Amino acid sequence: MKKKLCIVLMCLLMIGTLGGCGRLKTVEQEISISLPGSPVSVDPQLVNDTNSGFVASFNTACLYGYDLNKELKPVLAESVEISDDGLTYTFHLKKDLKWSDGRPLTAADFVYGFRRLADPDVGSNSVYMLTDSCTVKNAVDVTQGKIPVTELGVSAPDALTFVVELETPCPYFCALVTMCNFAPCNEDFYHTVGKKYATSADTILSCGPFIMDRYEPLAMQIHFKKNPYYVDADIVKMSGVNLQVVANAQQALMSYESGYLDITTISGELADLAVGDPELQEFPTASLMFLDINHRTCAALKNKNIRMALTKSIDRNSIVKNILKTGNQPLARVNPPGYYIEWDNKDFSGDPDQYKEQAGYDPQKAKELWEKGLSEIGESAVTLTLLYASGNDNLMESVKQQMEKSLPGLTIKLKSAPSKEVYETQTKGGYDLLFTGWFADYADPTSFLALFNSSSKVLGYNNPDYDKLYDNIQTFDATSSFKKRDEMMHQAEDMLMNDAALIPLFTKGQAYLIRNGVTGFQMTPTGVGCIIEELNKEVK
């Protein structure tokens, strides 16, 4: 395998250079890791994409987190008490917690962090975690601006006690608050830097293993140094971490083989070449990669038959086999397999063909639905723009070719843009089709189902019947019948697939090349972020 990669590397060196990568200074106590794109935001309350979540893993800590065995553990919390009715969580914080500048970190910082997440003036797209995942008391009215953020069901009776009140029991709440969106935020510091908060290294405080000491928006390099005030600083072995933004997979491989990177993602044909290499590690993720459909402003896409035709025109198996390759699996439903076990010990998404009728590849049926849809909207041809983040050109070209081949009169215009621009366009609704993805925040199907609830403000799907069903799921007391709750979640997925609410493509696996001697790198159970407290690099 090494010989194959060396041959590939030599060929790459002959056809191009490491434009934009930059030579990294070798520091024995530091680890260099590739990042496929710049983070959209490093403000924990605003994080809503995988690149931003990965970055936040280094300088953010929450009440709970995961160890290297992917088991839940308290981090900033010492313990938690849960009321008998499951509605009140009382977190007792560890003593002597501090921010990276040495000031005390108290329960009031968690109150302010939760309030910022809920504040409609802050405008976080992760607000659904408070309103749709586990519903915090008054969160819906607060996020809609009906009542002030001070009415949110969080409080700090004293410096070491943080209380959260829920409107309905939520069995996975401690897992949910591992997400960086629930990190504390110091109100005094926030108001000191004002609108510049989290726009540079000196406008954000750290409560995690590392301190961000070099960062600018859209920068190609983000650097962290060890945080001496971190609660578990004794187990942090590295003096620093360097994240290098390398959008091109070939350039990332070249940097790794040249010794500039210690850890890098690898995909496609390059990953196939690496199969069998002891430095290749694969991490499964609970992810949904799909085409978001603009049901709001695109007249053609308001038609269900056209949406269904687009969905059934895609050969997902071919895309995974020929384009994506190692680590990825075709997906023709909302929920990926392997991350949620139902009441009867069966995989919630164990049947890959469950929605074959709605989303299975069938070019002839796709053509019939397409022609019916065109007749219904009074058109003979349709042109749609497909927006996607840079670096997905081959994948999107394949999707375009398959759709256009199966659906006469369809023209797909591909538009590539930086991740941040794609994200901003999605929130504003200025697209027809948009390639995006979602990694589960916690091990429950509602992590995906919440996306399509109209109050989540993540996607443009709007279906009152679905909203009602989802609300029933969220208010249902699972302890009375886990079977009934599972059945309701299946009904919700049925509704989305029958309505062609999205075009599912695949579920993503993450393959990494991790240099021999580097230990302590692990992904969280859902693949959202990484566990990096115990990162270590053997000095040779």
Tokens for 456?
A: 């989540």
Domain spans in the chain, listed from the N-terminal domain onward: 2-60+194-285+510-537, 64-190, 287-507
Residue 164's closest CA among 64, 79, 89? 89
The CA distances from residue 295 to 402, 436, 495, in Å, are 22, 16, 15
The helix/strand/coil state of 47 is: coil
- How far apart CA 350 and CA 359 sit, in angstroms, is 16
Got the DSSP string for 204-240? ----SSEEEEE--TT-SEEEEEE-TTSTTGGG---SE
- How far apart CA 449 and CA 435 sit, in angstroms, is 18
What phi and psi, each to the nearest 5 degrees, are found at residue 317? Answer: -60, -40
| Dihedral-angle region of residue 184 (phi above 0 means left; psi in -120 to 50 means alpha; beta otherwise) | beta
CATH superfamily membership of 287-507: Dipeptide-binding Protein; Domain 3 (3.10.105.10)
Instruction: Name residues of the chain where pLDDT drops below 70.
Output: 1-28, 268, 456-458, 460, 528, 539-540
Residue 426's closest CA among 408, 451, 406, 401? 451
In this prediction, residue 136 carries a pLDDT of: 97
CB 182 within 8 A of CB 113: yes
CATH superfamily membership of 2-60+194-285+510-537: Periplasmic binding protein-like II (3.40.190.10)
89-142: pLDDT as tens digits: 999 999 999 999 999 999 999 999 999 999 999 999 899 889 878 899 999 999
Tokens for 58?
A: 């280094």
* Options 3.40.190.10, 3.90.76.10, 3.40.710.10, 3.20.20.10; CATH of 64-190: 3.90.76.10
Query: What amino acid is encoded at 531 in this protein?
Result: I
Quickly count: other Cβ atoms within 10 Å of residue 19's Cβ: 8
In this prediction, residue 20 carries a pLDDT of: 39
Q: Which helix (H) or strand (E) holds 243?
A: strand 240-245
Identify any residues that bridge with 221 across adjacent strands, giving them in sequence order.
244
The CA distances from residue 81 to 7, 27, 61, 92, 164, in Å, are 58, 44, 20, 8, 11
In this prediction, residue 29 carries a pLDDT of: 84
In this prediction, residue 539 carries a pLDDT of: 63
- How far apart CA 457 and CA 256 sit, in angstroms, is 39
- How far apart CA 464 and CA 453 sit, in angstroms, is 9
pTM, entire model: 0.73
Do the first three CATH levels of 2-60+194-285+510-537 and 287-507 match, i.e. the same topology?
no
Q: Where are the beta strands (DSSP E) in 46-181?
A: 64-66, 72-74, 77-82, 88-93, 154-158, 161-165
Q: Which helix (H) or strand (E) holds 343?
A: none
Tokens for 220?
A: 């190609």
In this prediction, residue 267 carries a pLDDT of: 76
- How far apart CA 323 and CA 394 sit, in angstroms, is 7
127-178: pLDDT as tens digits: 988 987 889 999 999 999 999 999 999 999 999 999 999 998 888 899 899 9
Tokens for 183?
A: 């990190």
The helix/strand/coil state of 364 is: helix
In this prediction, residue 28 carries a pLDDT of: 52
Q: Which helix (H) or strand (E) holds 414?
A: strand 410-417
Q: What is the CA radius of gyration of the chain?
A: 23
Tokens for 295?
A: 């049901």
Residue corresponding to tokens 């070491």: 160
Tokens for 537?
A: 């690099």
Tokens for 455?
A: 């109050």
Biggest CA–CA distance in the chain, Å, is 70
Residues 6+ apart with CB under 8 A from 194: none
- How far apart CA 501 and CA 534 sit, in angstroms, is 41
Q: Are strands 263-265 and 536-537 parallel, antiparallel or unpaired?
A: unpaired
CB 415 within 8 A of CB 428: no
CB 376 within 8 A of CB 480: no
In this prediction, residue 366 carries a pLDDT of: 98
